[in-house]
Structure 1
C-alpha cells in the first residue's frame, strides 16, 4: 500500500471515529425530548417497513372483511368506498408522519398532545389521548388474535367434515396465537426485526399466490355490474347512509397505522425512517388491497352460497367455487391465516411499547412495574405480558357471546381514530398560528415536549398544502369514528346492535374517574428524564 493510500485510510478512519453514529444521533434527539434511551435500536428501514406493512395487512383484511362493504354499498360501494378510505388514510398518515418526525417517541399520540395542547388543558387532554391509544391498541391486538383463532377454526371446518365448531375452541386458538406472539416478543435482540423483514416478502408473495389462481380459475363477473351496482342490504333509509356504514370494513383493513410510531425508540434514523415506513406502507398496502378487492368482486361467484359457508368466512367459499379444490382452498386460506398470526406478533410489540411508554410517564396504575425494561433483552417484558393477559381475558367474552366480543373489538377503530383526531386538531391549530419553527442541527435545547418550543422534523408538508391535508384528515377521521358506532342494519336487534360506543366511552369515563382521584396528582405529561 502506498503512503498516499495510507494517508487516505488514516484520514477516513479519523472521520469515522470523530463523527457520531446514527444510533448516537437518535439517542441525542431523544434526549432533546427529555427521554433516556433504554431500548436497543435493532430495527432498520426495511425491517420497519415490513413491520408497518404487515401490521396493516390490507389485502388480507379486504379478503376477510370485504362483504361488509358489499352488503352495505354493493360492489360499486365497495370500490368507491375503498378509494375514499385510501385517500383519507393517506392524509391521516401524512399527519402522523409529520408528528412522528417531530417527536419520534414510543408514546406517540399522548406525547404529541402534551407538546401541542395549551398548557391550561395539556394534562387532561394528554392523559385522555393516552388512554384512547391504550384502548385502541388493546382492542386491535385482541381482534387480530380472535380473527386468527376463528380463521384456523374455519380451515378445520373446511377440511374436516365431522368437526363441530364451538366458541370455546376459538378462544383456545386465540390463546395459542397469543402465546406465539409473546414468545417472539420476549426473546429480544435481532429476532423481531428479522422476523418482520421476512414477513414482508411473504406479504407480497402471498398476494400473488392468491390473486393468480383466483382470477385465472374463477368465472368473471361483468365490469358494469361491479362499478355501477349499489346495494343496501342493511335496509337503511338512503343509499348514502348505507355506503358510509359499509366503509367500516375498509377502515378496519387499514387499522394500526401508528404501529411504527410506538417502535420509534428501537429504530435507527427514527425521524426519517418512521415517516418513510408509514407512507410506503399505505402506498404498498393500498395498491395491493385495491387489486385484491377488485379480484374478489369480479370472482365471487354465487354470493348467497358464500354467505352460507359453514366456515364462517365467505371468502373460503369463494375460493372453493373458483378452484373446485378443498386442498387448494385450504392452502390459500392458510396464507391469509399465517399473515394474520404474524401480524399479531407486531401488534403485541406496538401495544406493549405504547403501554410501557404511558406507564413510564405515570399515566397507568402500577406504573413502576409496567415501566421496567429488562436489561438482558432490552424489552419491557412486564408490559408485553400484561398486554397479552388482558387480551386473553377478553377472549373469554367470546365463549359467552361472539356478538359482545365483536362489539368490543370494534373499539380498535374508535379508540385509535379518536386519539388521531385529538393530535391532528391541535397540530392544525398550531400550524395555522405559525407556532412551529424549523429545527437547527446545532441546537441542543429541549424541544417538542411539555412547555418546550416546537420545531418541525425532517418530514413536513409546508404551507397551504399541509393545512389542507391536515383539515381533510380531520374530516375523514370524524366520519370514520362516527360510523364505527353504527350497526350493520337499520333494524336493530341484540345480535346486530353495536355496543362499541359503550365500551369506548365506558373506559374513558373510568380513566377520567381515576384521573381525578389519583392520576392528576402524579401525571404531568411526559416526564423529563435525567441520567
Structure 2
C-alpha cells in the first residue's frame, strides 16, 4: 500500500474514536476542571469523582425519602392542624424548602466543597467575626448530620418492629431490641460507604429506580382498595387537639413536624468533591430532588388523608406499632400480608437512606477535621486506599451507637436529640442565606469567571448556576423569612399545658450545643481554628 494511503488510513483511524473512549476523555476533562476549581478554593482534590448527575440525584432522593417520610410525619400533624393542616402545611414547607435549596444551589455553584455551609460563611462573613461564625456554622452542621444519622437508624429500627407487631400482635417491642436493630442498620450503611465511590454511585442509581417504583407500589393499592373520605374533610377540616388558644396557633405549631419529611436534600452539597461538573450538577441535583420528591410527597400526603377513614384507630396504632400509617395500610387493603409488603418497601428505602445520610455525615466530619476544627483531626482526615474517609465514617458509626443507648433509658431524651436536626440545619441555612443576601445587595459578588479570565486573590464571583435578577434577590429574601419562621415554631411543644413527657426539649439540646461551641471556641478553638485552610 502506498505510503500516503497508509498515513491517510492511520489519520482516519485516530479520528474515529470509540464512544466509550470519547466519554472517558470527556470525563477526564470534566474532572480536571473540577479539580482546578477546587484548587482555586484552596483545597487539594483527594476524593474520587465517581458521581454523575443521575447517581447524585438518586443519592439525594434516597437520603431525602420524602413520600416515605410524610407517612411518618403527617399523622403527628393531625393533632395540630388536622387533615387540612397536613395538606396546606406541607405545601408551605415545600415552597419554603425550594426557596432555601435554590439559594444553597447558588452558593454550591460558587464554591462546591464538602464543607458546604461553613466554607461559604468563611467566604462571606465580615472579617471581625469571620472565624467565630465559621466555627459555629461548622459545629451546627456537623451536629445536625450526626443527629440525622441517628434518626434514620431509629426510624428504620422502629419501623421494622412496627411491621413485626402488625404481622404478630402478641409481639411487644423492647428498647434493647431497638438499639440492636439500629446498630445492624448502621453497620450496613458503614459497609456500603467503605466500598468505593463508584460502587456507591451505582448503588444510589439503583435506589432512585426503587424510590420511584416503590411510590406507585404503595400508592396504587392504598388508593384503589381503601374507602375514601370527602374532599371537604381533606382540604377544609382542621383539628386543635393540642389545646391551644386558636386554630391558627395550632396550625403553625404543627408545621415543623411535617418539615422533617423534606430534610436531607442538601446531602449533595457535602459530596461535591466526589461529583463531576459539581458547580452545575450540585445545584441541579438540589432542585430536581426537592421538586421531584416534594411532588411525590404531596401526592402521598393527599392520598393518605383521603384513605384515613378511622382517625382514632390510626392514632391508637401509633402506641403499639410506632407508626399509624401501618394501620391505614392494613385497613385499606384488608390484608395483613399486603400491608406488610407495602411497609416492607418503605423499610428497604429507609435502609437505603441510611447509606446516603452516612456518606454526607462522614464527609462533613472529614471536611471540618481537614480545617482542624475537631479534636484528633489528623486521625479523622485519613483516607483509605479507595480515597474514602473511612475513619470519619467509623467515628459517625461510634457516635450513632453511643447515642442510641439513650433509648434504653428515655425515649423523650432520644426524641430531643432527633429533633435537633431541624433547628441546627436551618440555623446554618439562615446564616448563609442572610450573608448571601447582604453580599448580593452590596454588589460584592462579581460576574461568573469565564474561561479566558484569571481569578484574582480575594475575588468573589458567581458560579455557572445562578437565579437571574431580580428573582434571585427576591428568592433569597423569602428563603431567609422561611428559615426564621420554621426555626421559631420548631421549639414549641405540641400540647398545652406542657408536662416533662410532652415538652419540646429540642431547645435545650440546641442551646447546649450552641453554648458548648461558644465556650470551646473561646477557651481553645480560637487559638488553632483559622477557618478553611489554604492547602494549595
TM-score after normalising by structure 2: 0.95
Match of 1:214 in 2: 222
Partners of 2:477 and 2:197 in 1: CA distance: 40
Partners of 2:363 and 2:396 in 1: CA distance: 10
Partners of 1:237 and 1:369 in 2: CA distance: 53
How do 1:43-442 and structure 2 match up within 5 A? 43-309=51-317, 310-374=320-384, 376-438=385-447, 439-442=449-452
**In 2 relative to 1, CA 110–223 (structure 1 residues): closer, same or farther, beyond 3 Å?**
same
Match of 1:487 in 2: 493
**In 2 relative to 1, CA 330–432 (structure 1 residues): closer, same or farther, beyond 3 Å?**
same
Shift of 1:384: 0.4
Match of 1:508 among 507, 514, 518: 514
Unaligned runs of 5+ in 1: none
Match of 1:22 among 10, 23, 30: 30
Q: Please state whether the residue corresponding to 2:461 is helix, strand or coil.
A: strand
Shift of 1:190: 1.9
Match of 1:34 in 2: 42
Partners of 1:290 and 1:259 in 2: CA distance: 21
Q: Please state whether the residue corresponding to 1:187 is helix, strand or coil.
A: coil
Cα deviations across residues 23-46 of structure 1 (Å, max 9, x unaligned)?
A: 111001100101000000011110
Partners of 1:390 and 1:224 in 2: CA distance: 46
Shift of 1:224: 1.2
How do 1:437-476 and structure 2 match up within 5 A? 437-438=446-447, 439-445=449-455, 452-476=458-482
Shift of 1:188: 1.9
Cα deviations across residues 162-218 of structure 1 (Å, max 9, x unaligned)?
A: 312111111111111111101101112422111111000110000000100000000
Shift of 1:12: 7.3
**In 2 relative to 1, CA 226–114 (structure 1 residues): closer, same or farther, beyond 3 Å?**
same
Partners of 1:307 and 1:4 in 2: CA distance: 78
**In 2 relative to 1, CA 497–280 (structure 1 residues): closer, same or farther, beyond 3 Å?**
same
Partners of 1:83 and 1:286 in 2: CA distance: 9
Partners of 1:9 and 1:295 in 2: CA distance: 59
Partners of 1:444 and 1:106 in 2: CA distance: 24
Q: Is the 8 A contact 1:33 1:446 kept in 2?
A: no
Q: Please state whether the residue corresponding to 2:244 is helix, strand or coil.
A: coil
Partners of 1:148 and 1:173 in 2: CA distance: 8
Partners of 2:128 and 2:6 in 1: CA distance: 67
Partners of 2:507 and 2:88 in 1: CA distance: 26
**In 2 relative to 1, CA 454–307 (structure 1 residues): closer, same or farther, beyond 3 Å?**
same
Shift of 1:377: 1.6
Q: Please state whether the residue corresponding to 1:454 is helix, strand or coil.
A: coil
Q: Please state whether the residue corresponding to 2:495 is helix, strand or coil.
A: coil
Q: Is the 8 A contact 1:263 1:353 kept in 2?
A: yes
**In 2 relative to 1, CA 4–235 (structure 1 residues): closer, same or farther, beyond 3 Å?**
farther
Partners of 1:131 and 1:88 in 2: CA distance: 24
Q: Is the 8 A contact 2:117 2:138 kept in 1?
A: yes
Unaligned runs of 5+ in 2: none
Shift of 1:94: 0.6
Shift of 1:161: 2.8
